[in-house]
Structure 1
Amino acid sequence: MDIFEKNIFVVIVSYNGEKWLVKNLESLQQSLFPIKVIVIDNSSSDNTAEIVKSFPDVQLILSKENLGFGKANNLGIKASLEQGADYVFLLNQDTWVYPETFGNLIRVAERNESYGILSPLHFSRDENVLDENFETYWNRKTDTISKNIDEVPFVNAAAWLISKQVIEKVGYFEPMFDHYGEDRNYVDRVRFHGYKIVIVKDAKICHDREISRNFNKDSVQSKYKILGDVLNVNYSIFKGYLKGLQSVFGLPKYFYKYYTLPQILQLFFKLSIYYLVIKVNIFSILKKRGGYKR
């Protein structure tokens, strides 16, 4: 089958995204590869929904509540598959793409069924410098498969291409993660099923965001890091809990350079309590991990 006959659905979760969505959706209109776009709006209070409605070819799903990243994406993924998607491309609202992005990704995906998640290069808003967090993930590459493809242990879900076959095998985002950690958990499951996570270097997006430290955000992310350790299906249950315990101590140590001693002690206390709660619920954790292995 010609790659241009493949059905590609772009799924965007929006929340108060009026600042970015016009540029985002206009960039998708310029794609050289035919795509369909679904926006799931997480009960925005600004003009996000009106902006999306001004693009008549874009499907809009309005949620009555803020479902968070994973659950909202699950709605879009489900809708895409029901409409015949061969591939789903998850895209953040604060990004834009280039005309050749999708074609370059699909060509690689069609030749390599072992690639579970394909991501383009992520540049910052000035288009010449890599996004800071993305560069960190890319620098951890485990293999240079070819001149154009690097394998990495993880890349954030700002721009993921996933095939229908991979979704049917791996499933959807885990709803236990409200807003952070969903992508790491999904990557763990993708790798468990034998797929690779790759960066396609002749495809790119730009990610228009500010990267800064916030204690409350880092606290929540730290909790979900521990949950991700325990749920990691690539570990034995014992190793998962051991990794989680290491994070209880290791994360406050890491954040010590950013926050005051009282904040670090507060973080350690919160993580310790959270870890104990997870440990008490070991049977539900075991059931959840078992479900990933289907």
Structure 2
Amino acid sequence: MSFPRVAIIILNWNGWEDTLECLESVYQINYPEYDVIVVDNNSEDISIKKIEDYCAGYIKVDSNFFNYQNKNPIKIFEYSSNELQSSKLPEMDVINSVKPNEKLILIKNHKNYGFAKGNNIGISYALKSLDADYVLLLNNDTVVDKDFLTELVDAAKTNDNVGFVGPKVYIYSDKNTLQVAGGAKVDLKHGEVDEIAYHQRDEGQFDHYLEPDYIGGTCILCSREVIEEVGMLDPGYFMYWEDADWCFRGRKQGYKSVYAFKSKIWHKYGASSDTPFKMYYFTRNRIYFVKKNSTRGEFFLFSMFILAVTLSKSLRQLILQCDSKMSYAYLKGFFDGITLSVNSKVKV
């Protein structure tokens, strides 16, 4: 039987402990034809050293989800992002000769490009150098089921209109509670998302076919053909909303987002505290996303709504909590989102 070649891209930034657990779970999957690419976004910690030590067999990964397997050392093919500018790298025959669970492609970025551009570097390499049939974006703070990739690929092959596929995502700390069933629905009038199955106990109620508006970036499978037509992630987002944008651009080209309920992963998801940095990007990108995906009239109405929300939140932060930094982040995010130029397609 012939299996499509899948490039699994894992973005790392100062998160080597999560990345090692993710890698070990990936190397134990049953799917026979894949390449693992770790893109390091210029980590400031010892991530590179720890990843190298793990591949050499010096670090044993402990997890409640699997037993660590003693195996041959993992061969690392290491490149800087600048080295990837060449059209064909000389080691491809060597890379192809190594078993999937015995090799790692490590791409080291010279700066933190954020989620979108960081992953785009991996996507570009996967399509141009590995000749991958599919690309899978996988958060480094996840653990995967042994059959997760088989189920994703099977769902992707059901018909030519499937553009993006996502799994059933459980919360890492509570194995039977769902974070999301594939993705979410989007309310463009208010720039809000409603994650399907959010924090519900899994009792089989979501074991059926679904078409979300978009697949969450925690784990998203996309084919070469779709990427070549739709483009890659829009780097203008940096963080937040880029996954929704990708799927919406695909939808305009006639591609569905599909939930593969038999595919399972666990995500170290939890409520994180707001910071001015996060609030700025979330506010800005929320506006940028709606601008790209609505009519002028709809965007005007949304702008009035979000302005009222932003001003009220900003004043509350400033007056009641005496937090001028958070207040400034709200306002700057609003005005930058309004003025940010739309990037309709990011070519491979």
Q: Which amino acid aligns with 1:49?
A: I
Q: Which amino acid aligns with 2:3?
A: E
Of residues 5, 11, 18 in structure 2, which corresponds to 1:13? 11
Q: 1:196 to 1:49 in 2, by over 3 A?
A: same
User: Which protein has the larger Cα radius of gyration, Structure 1 or Structure 2?
Assistant: 2
Q: Secondary structure at the match of 1:131?
A: strand
Q: How many residues align?
A: 279
Alignment of 1:53-64 (within 5 A): 53=52, 54=55, 55-56=74-75, 57-64=103-110
The aligned residue for residue 166 of structure 1 is 226
User: Which region of structure 1 is more displaced relative to structure 2, 67-76 or 270-279?
Assistant: 270-279
User: Which region of structure 1 is more displaced relative to structure 2, 238-247 or 218-227?
Assistant: 238-247
The aligned residue for residue 50 of structure 1 is 49
CA distance in 2 between partners of 1:112 and 1:63 (Å): 36
CA distance in 2 between partners of 1:255 and 1:159 (Å): 33
CA distance in 2 between partners of 1:257 and 1:106 (Å): 47
Identity of aligned residues (%): 26
1:112 aligns with 2:112: no
Q: 1:189 to 1:241 in 2, by over 3 A?
A: farther
CA contact (8 A) 2:170 2:178 kept: yes
Q: 1:137 to 1:259 in 2, by over 3 A?
A: farther
CA contact (8 A) 2:25 2:145 kept: yes
Higher helix proportion: 1
The aligned residue for residue 226 of structure 1 is 287
1:88 aligns with 2:147: no
Q: 1:277 to 1:59 in 2, by over 3 A?
A: closer
CA contact (8 A) 2:287 2:337 kept: no
CA distance in 2 between partners of 1:214 and 1:270 (Å): 11
After the TM superposition, list the runs of 4 or more consecutive aligned residues in structure 1 that deviate by more than 3 angstroms: 132-136, 250-281
Q: 1:188 to 1:205 in 2, by over 3 A?
A: same
CA distance in 2 between partners of 1:31 and 1:244 (Å): 46
Of residues 187, 195, 205 in structure 2, which corresponds to 1:137? 195
User: Which region of structure 1 is more displaced relative to structure 2, 181-190 or 168-177?
Assistant: 181-190
**How far has the Cα of 1:231 moved from its partner?**
1.9
CA-based RMSD of the aligned residues comes to 3.1
Q: Which amino acid aligns with 2:112?
A: N
- What CA deviation, in whole Å up to 9, does each residue of 1:156-214 have, x standing for no partner? 20100001111111101112112222112212212222222121111011101332331
Of residues 115, 120, 134 in structure 2, which corresponds to 1:69? 115
Q: Secondary structure at the match of 2:235?
A: coil
CA contact (8 A) 1:229 1:241 kept: no
CA distance in 2 between partners of 1:91 and 1:158 (Å): 6
CA distance in 1 between partners of 2:161 and 2:318 (Å): 42
CA contact (8 A) 1:229 1:244 kept: no
TM-score normalized with structure 1 length? 0.83
Of residues 247, 260, 263 in structure 2, which corresponds to 1:187? 247
Point out where structure 1 has 5 or more consecutive residues left out of the alignment: 141-145
CA contact (8 A) 1:52 1:60 kept: no
Q: Secondary structure at the match of 1:151?
A: coil
